[in-house]
């Protein structure tokens, strides 16, 4: 980096990249952000970062690595509600509210900045623009959950998979971790199965089908969009819910 201003270096973070896509952040916004961003923690794969029912949680901003939030059912199966990628907020609700109603677990080794509740609220007061951006991101997450619900309720396995990969691509592009061609993806077929409400075996078959149809290829930890337009067409992917307008509040 040529910048000598340490505050500006925060612009390299996925979090700042993502929020910048929505609001123009001032130098003082960035200063507050880099302050909040300072308390780094590492998490190993498979150890819950946030646990269901636990109180007085911190929230985190994912700096690197992937995580997933999920609920366990009696019977051992689980449903993954959402994946988190760098730049995503994580556990925001468990800070605003007292308890978390689901678990969050790292999929790869994770680096995340811990955000204490009081720091977050202080930052919100100091820089309303930052608060606006964070709320915008939160509302986008909620829209994704709704779309995921539609996936499970009314789309076939292949449509689900195609839709999921397109959405993931769009999210990663926002933080510079993907382009139209594809992206690196650490998700196993078991994880895909738990997210899409399928069995791992069927996930495999669906991926083969999409590959043989020349739409997407997901192999060796890499997703390649072989025919982006056809894929969008196939699953009736509508970007609208991802880049909706921002919040008016605050």
Binding site for its own copies (CB under 8 A): 53, 55, 71, 73-75, 77-79, 81, 93, 95-99, 101-102, 117, 121, 135-136, 139, 142-143, 145-150, 152-155, 196-197, 236, 240-241, 244-249
Contacted entry of its own copies, DNA, none for residue 202, CB cut-off 5 to 8 Å set by kind = DNA
Residue 108 engages DNA in binding (rule: CB under 7 A) = no
Q: Which residues of 13-30 are buried (b: 16+ CB within 10 A; e: fewer)?
A: bbbbbbbeebeebeeebb
Which CB sits closer to its own copies, 174 or 196? 196
Q: Measured on CA atoms in the order 25, 243, 229, 172, is the torsion positive or negative?
A: positive
CB of 81 to its own copies, least distance (A): 6
Q: Say whether 175 sits in a helix, a strand or coil.
A: coil
Site string for DNA, 181-220 (x = CB under 7 A): -------xxx------xxxxxx-xxxxx----------x-
Phi, psi of 56 (to 5 degrees): 55, 50
Sign of the C-alpha dihedral computed for residues 219, 211, 190 and 63 taken in this order: positive
| 59/65 Cα distance (integer angstroms) | 16
Residue number with CB closer to its own copies (64 or 139): 139
Binding site for DNA (CB under 7 A): 156-158, 188-190, 197-202, 204-208, 219
């Amino acid at each position: 980096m040529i910048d000598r201003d340490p505050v500006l270096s925060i612009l390299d973070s996925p979090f700042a990249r993502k929020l910048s896509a929505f609001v123009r952040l001032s130098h003082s916004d960035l200063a507050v952000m880099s302050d909040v961003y300072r308390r780094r923690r590492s998490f190993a794969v498979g150890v819950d970062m946030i646990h269901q029912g636990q109180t007085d949680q911190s929230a985190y901003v994912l700096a690197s690595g992937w995580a997933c939030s999920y609920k366990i059912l009696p019977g051992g199966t689980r449903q993954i509600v959402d994946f988190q990628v760098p730049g995503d907020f994580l556990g925001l609700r468990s800070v605003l509210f007292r308890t978390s109603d689901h678990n969050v677990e790292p999929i790869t080794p994770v680096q995340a900045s811990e955000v204490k509740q009081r720091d977050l609220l202080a930052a919100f007061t100091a820089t309303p623009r930052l608060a606006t951006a964070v709320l915008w991101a939160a509302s986008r997450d909620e829209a994704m959950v709704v779309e995921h619900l539609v996936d499970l309720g009314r789309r076939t396995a292949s449509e689900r998979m195609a839709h999921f990969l397109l959405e993931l691509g769009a999210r990663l592009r926002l933080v510079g971790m993907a382009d139209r061609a594809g992206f690196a993806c650490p998700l196993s077929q078991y994880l895909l199965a738990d997210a899409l409400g399928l069995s791992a075996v069927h996930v495999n078959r669906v991926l083969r089908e999409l590959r043989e149809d020349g739409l997407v290829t997901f192999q060796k930890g890499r997703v390649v969009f072989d025919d982006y337009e056809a894929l969008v067409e196939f699953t009736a992917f509508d970007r609208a819910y991802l880049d909706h307008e921002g919040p008016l509040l605050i």
